[in-house]
A and B are shown apart, each in its own frame.
Chain A
């Protein structure tokens, strides 16, 4: 007899991601991913000036502000066939890189590490032994026994006061928690350090963007940063070196600490490299354009079908002709009107709410498909696509990770093992390490170009009469983001955002193919249906971000999510 578990956000306004699973014989046999909040927010753009769309789109989500701003200006530029100056590319790239560094660090340490790290074992750890273990695993400078002691005292303080604060609701003592106390202490020490380092990356975004969390420097046609190396009021050498100073602090944290922790935890949970594969079609678009034409990129894009790295194809532009034609959104199981799968430019967002019907409509998320295929997006797709194409930077960091995991776990781990729940965490660390190298590279591109006397940052847009369509993409921290805009006589006639979490959290489609979350949960073990830690592990490995739109504080103090075993 199957047990049904329902994990549901219960607050009225903040309704977000709901997961239902059926457990049979200790393993997940069926799964549904549902978003309980309407995302028709694009409608606010209809009739507006396309030059201002990015100001609105960066309010879609408080975590992904810059990425939606960037995809929006790129979409309008694509519609106008408008190139932007090289300085504008580099400034945008540096914003995207540093935002992603921040985002990945926070996701790993603050938002998902405690699925694997049982902090309640930390009082029993030995700080001196933890320090020498950490020092044997990496050259990171934050591994002294004093740092371990401080972190341990913090947990002891929480435990002694009886108020766990931040950590009141974890699944501590769960049978699936397997790390020794010393490793948990190392991870928690880095958890505290991560709070410091993620912030430095965001400060770079602030220097370039003028302000965080909502940047102010974008424009359709480039950026609004004035460059004058001798002026105090503009982008000058002082600011450029301030950025470098901040990046130089973040880079070792990513390469020596985060990267190493992700590999170590993967090595100590080998079974999680066999769970959670799910949809094994992978997609990424190229990003970090290197010239005004955006004809060359530092990060590759392409597709892999059925997990076969030998079959990888390549995208040569940010929105290839094929990509424009192949993306369509299926509405069969989503609470919208419409029978046929819709291409985003023709897409409509007309609600048709029915309540949760597991064989009918059950979510506000549409089901994007590529040539009718579900696709997984995110760091794992980015890494596999690059690896399959022989992209040198991807190969370098992936091979380093595989060697490290193999050495610690004493078993041969291959790139195919990354197609798993744990693989998604490792891939995110690989991507983050790659980005940390590119941070320095793109800083140099900007400084070199400016030093040559090129201070151009903006090409003014001209809007034609009649109708034009554009698509702007960004390979965001959570995966492929695309904004689709139709401009008619200088006004927005349609706007659709196909976001990474839509790909990954998509419901079943007209042929019954499940989306990546749903498929990845199948076969996951469940030790205790009352405490479905394993479900959280797999769902968190995608770094879901669907909780973006609404922020009301609920003074009734109801739990954000509750688990019901039915």
Chain B
């Protein structure tokens, strides 16, 4: 069975604040227990292949960095109706990743998501690096709690682990040594 709730972390782990989505997924896995109705997915920077992960779901939670819309570190949420208003735009590069295009394509393919929530944090630092900048870093606990309470509202008991599992992110497996 495909878990009916998908929590997808979107973004590029190598570009600081843009790594919010993947890093949040790693934290959620380590700090919470979601049970088997929920799948946590580090989707990275997908193109239209993201559509494939939406089949069979009822609820989609997206975690992503935002490039505007508020002050750095501000947490903003968008629901299905709000997201649908962002129409896909003309593409020049055939792979400009855009979430709205994914959601519209999913609809065209007959995928019916009952509810969508995007939890975003306005980013500030987008340089090359695997560490979140200070603004987004400070917002992380709020993001995790928002996601957990949203999932609880859908009848899934989400527990915080008494002792978090260690996060073994390969990106921080070893600090680089100056060559």
A and B associate:
yes
Binding-face segment, A56-64, A227-235, A288-296, A449-457: A56-64
Question: Known contacts being A545-B93, A546-B93, is A49 close to B174, with CB within 8 Å?
Answer: yes
In this assembly, does A160 line the interface, its C-beta being within 8 Å of a C-beta of chain B? no
A111 to B99, CA, bound (A): 15
Nearest residue in A to B19 (C-beta to C-beta)?
Answer: A59
Please classify the interface of chain B as helix (H, G, I), strand (E, B), loop, or mixed, using the class held by over half of its residues. loop
In this assembly, does B29 line the interface, its C-beta being within 8 Å of a C-beta of chain A? no
Binding-face segment, A9-17, A244-252, A266-274, A367-375: A9-17
Nearest residue in A to B43 (C-beta to C-beta)?
Answer: A213
Which residues of A, 189-212, contact B by the 8 Å Cβ criterion? 192, 195, 198-199, 202, 212
Binding-face segment, A319-327, A355-363, A400-408, A488-496: A488-496
Query: Which among A43, A44, A214, A544 is the interface contact of B93 at CB below 8 angstroms?
Result: A544
In this assembly, does B114 line the interface, its C-beta being within 8 Å of a C-beta of chain A? no
Q: Are A168 and B88 in contact, CB atoms less than 8 angstroms apart? A: yes
Q: Are A41 and B128 in contact, CB atoms less than 8 angstroms apart? A: yes
* Residues of chain B lying within 8 A (CB to CB) of residue A559: 89-90
* Residues of chain B lying within 8 A (CB to CB) of residue A2: none
Q: Are B65 and A165 in contact, CB atoms less than 8 angstroms apart? A: no
Q: Are A213 and B13 in contact, CB atoms less than 8 angstroms apart? A: no
Q: Are A41 and B44 in contact, CB atoms less than 8 angstroms apart? A: no
Question: Known contacts being A62-B97, A202-B52, A546-B93, is A213 close to B44, with CB within 8 Å?
Answer: yes
In this assembly, does B56 line the interface, its C-beta being within 8 Å of a C-beta of chain A? no
A19 to B92, CA, bound (A): 8
In this assembly, does A551 line the interface, its C-beta being within 8 Å of a C-beta of chain B? yes
Q: Are B44 and A17 in contact, CB atoms less than 8 angstroms apart? A: no
A59 to B128, CA, bound (A): 12
Q: How far apart are B40's CB and chain A's nearest CB, in angstroms? A: 12
Q: Are A545 and B95 in contact, CB atoms less than 8 angstroms apart? A: yes
Which residues of B, 153-179, contact A by the 8 Å Cβ criterion? 170-171, 173-174, 176-179
* Residues of chain A lying within 8 A (CB to CB) of residue B104: 165-166
In this assembly, does A442 line the interface, its C-beta being within 8 Å of a C-beta of chain B? no
In this assembly, does A343 line the interface, its C-beta being within 8 Å of a C-beta of chain B? no
Question: Known contacts being A47-B179, A213-B43, A555-B76, is A41 close to B14, with CB within 8 Å?
Answer: yes
* Residues of chain B lying within 8 A (CB to CB) of residue A549: 12, 14-15, 45
Q: How far apart are A246's CB and chain B's nearest CB, in angstroms? A: 13
A552 to B64, CA, bound (A): 6
Q: Are B45 and A551 in contact, CB atoms less than 8 angstroms apart? A: yes
Q: How far apart are A287's CB and chain B's nearest CB, in angstroms? A: 21
Q: Are A52 and B174 in contact, CB atoms less than 8 angstroms apart? A: yes
Question: Known contacts being A47-B179, A557-B86, is A550 close to B126, with CB within 8 Å?
Answer: yes
In this assembly, does B87 line the interface, its C-beta being within 8 Å of a C-beta of chain A? yes
In this assembly, does A102 line the interface, its C-beta being within 8 Å of a C-beta of chain B? yes
Q: Are B178 and A47 in contact, CB atoms less than 8 angstroms apart? A: yes
Binding-face segment, A218-226, A377-385, A412-420, A535-543: A535-543
* Residues of chain B lying within 8 A (CB to CB) of residue A65: 44
In this assembly, does B72 line the interface, its C-beta being within 8 Å of a C-beta of chain A? no
A544 to B171, CA, bound (A): 28
Q: How far apart are A13's CB and chain B's nearest CB, in angstroms? A: 4
Q: Are B94 and A560 in contact, CB atoms less than 8 angstroms apart? A: no
* Residues of chain A lying within 8 A (CB to CB) of residue B46: 62-63, 213
A41 to B18, CA, bound (A): 13
Contact string against A for B residues 45-65, beta-carbon threshold 8 Å, 1 for contact and 0 otherwise: 111110110000000001011
Q: How far apart are B84's CB and chain A's nearest CB, in angstroms? A: 8
Number of residues on chain B facing chain A (CB within 8 A): 64
* Residues of chain A lying within 8 A (CB to CB) of residue B130: 44
Nearest residue in A to B178 (C-beta to C-beta)?
Answer: A47
Binding-face segment, B30-38, B105-113, B138-146: B105-113
In this assembly, does A128 line the interface, its C-beta being within 8 Å of a C-beta of chain B? no
Q: Are B64 and A561 in contact, CB atoms less than 8 angstroms apart? A: no
In this assembly, does B118 line the interface, its C-beta being within 8 Å of a C-beta of chain A? yes
Q: Are B65 and A561 in contact, CB atoms less than 8 angstroms apart? A: no
Q: Are B96 and A547 in contact, CB atoms less than 8 angstroms apart? A: yes
A202 to B105, CA, bound (A): 17
Q: Are B93 and A551 in contact, CB atoms less than 8 angstroms apart? A: no
Q: How far apart are A19's CB and chain B's nearest CB, in angstroms? A: 6
* Residues of chain B lying within 8 A (CB to CB) of residue A111: 48, 91, 94-95
Question: Known contacts being A154-B108, A199-B52, A552-B66, is A59 close to B44, with CB within 8 Å?
Answer: yes
* Residues of chain B lying within 8 A (CB to CB) of residue A536: 90, 92
A107 to B48, CA, bound (A): 10
Q: Are B92 and A9 in contact, CB atoms less than 8 angstroms apart? A: yes
Q: Are A166 and B88 in contact, CB atoms less than 8 angstroms apart? A: yes
Question: Known contacts being A62-B46, A547-B96, A555-B68, is A169 close to B87, with CB within 8 Å?
Answer: yes
* Residues of chain A lying within 8 A (CB to CB) of residue B62: 553
Q: Are A552 and B123 in contact, CB atoms less than 8 angstroms apart? A: yes
In this assembly, does B151 line the interface, its C-beta being within 8 Å of a C-beta of chain A? no
A559 to B87, CA, bound (A): 9
Q: Are A555 and B129 in contact, CB atoms less than 8 angstroms apart? A: no
In this assembly, does A308 line the interface, its C-beta being within 8 Å of a C-beta of chain B? no
Q: How far apart are B90's CB and chain A's nearest CB, in angstroms? A: 5
Query: Which among A48, A192, A198, A212 is the interface contact of B174 at CB below 8 angstroms?
Result: A48
Q: Are B97 and A547 in contact, CB atoms less than 8 angstroms apart? A: yes
Q: Are B65 and A552 in contact, CB atoms less than 8 angstroms apart? A: yes
* Residues of chain B lying within 8 A (CB to CB) of residue A212: 49
Question: Known contacts being A44-B128, A540-B94, A560-B91, is A553 close to B179, with CB within 8 Å?
Answer: no
Nearest residue in A to B78 (C-beta to C-beta)?
Answer: A555
Which residues of A, 46-78, contact B by the 8 Å Cβ criterion? 46-49, 52, 55-56, 59-63, 65
A560 to B93, CA, bound (A): 10
In this assembly, does A554 line the interface, its C-beta being within 8 Å of a C-beta of chain B? yes
Q: Are A551 and B94 in contact, CB atoms less than 8 angstroms apart? A: no
Nearest residue in B to A195 (C-beta to C-beta)?
Answer: B109
Q: Are A553 and B120 in contact, CB atoms less than 8 angstroms apart? A: yes
Contact string against B for A residues 149-182, beta-carbon threshold 8 Å, 1 for contact and 0 otherwise: 0000010000000000110110000000000000
Q: A18-B92, A553-B62, A559-B90 are in contact. List 7 more A-B contacts (CB 8 A).
A: A7-B92, A111-B91, A213-B43, A213-B44, A547-B97, A553-B99, A563-B90
Closest 3 CB pairs of A and B: A62-B45, A47-B176, A555-B69
Instruction: Please name 14 pairs of A and B residues whose Cβ atoms are closer than 8 Å in the assembled complex, sorted by A.
Output: A9-B92, A11-B67, A18-B92, A41-B15, A41-B128, A55-B170, A56-B171, A59-B14, A62-B44, A166-B107, A547-B95, A549-B45, A556-B69, A559-B90
Q: B interface vs A, CB < 8 Å?
A: 10-15, 17-18, 21, 42-49, 51-52, 62, 64-69, 76, 78, 85-99, 101, 104-105, 107-109, 118, 120, 123, 126, 128-130, 170-171, 173-174, 176-179
